[in-house]
Structures are given as C-alpha cells and as structure tokens.
Amino acid sequence: MTDDRTEDIVRRLKSVEGHVRGIGRMVEEGAYCVDVVNQILAVQRALKKVSSLVLDRHLHSCVTHAIEGTDAAAKERVLGELLEVFEATGKT
C-alpha cells in the first residue's frame, strides 16, 4: 500500500465521519427528512468510493503478488476472497 493511497483513503474516511456526525445533528435538530436522506445518500456514495479505492489497492498489490507467485493455495485464496466480495455486492 502506498502512502498516497493510504492518505487519500484516510482523508475520505475522516470526511465521511464528519458527514455522519452532521447527519446526526440534522436529525437531532429536526431537519427536513429529504435533506437528511440526501446527506445519507452522499455518505453512501463516499463509502462506495472508499471501498473501490481499497479494492483497487488490493487488486494491484495482494492479488497481483499472489497470482504472479508460485503458491497455488495463495492464488486460490485471493480468488476466493474476490468472489466473496463480488457476491456480497451483488456483482455476480
């Protein structure tokens, strides 16, 4: 994992954290429901982007290393992990 990628992911997660706290304040203050829903949707999009960045990093490091290596069990493990991720996201 490169430092730039890590910093970007952490920065995005801190931003999401701030947005979630803001949504909590909105709810406490009785904000208009549609405004709250729109903020929740924005957080979900931001988390989806973070997930994509983490998966990209995984593909370019762990998966690439395992596939290029000679350990058949490691290859099967990372392929199984990827399948699980795709199944969990409904992408299969």
Segment 9-46, tens digit of pLDDT: 999 999 999 999 999 999 999 999 999 999 999 999 99
Give the 3-state DSSP-derived string for the chain, with helices as H, strands as E and coil as C: CCHHHHHHHHHHHHHHHHHHHHHHHHHHCCCCHHHHHHHHHHHHHHHHHHHHHHHHHHHHHHHHHHHHCCCHHHHHHHHHHHHHHHHHCCCC
Segment 73-88, tens digit of pLDDT: 999 999 999 999 989 9
Tell me the domains of the chain and their CATH numbers. Answer: 3-88 (1.20.58.1000)
pTM: 0.81
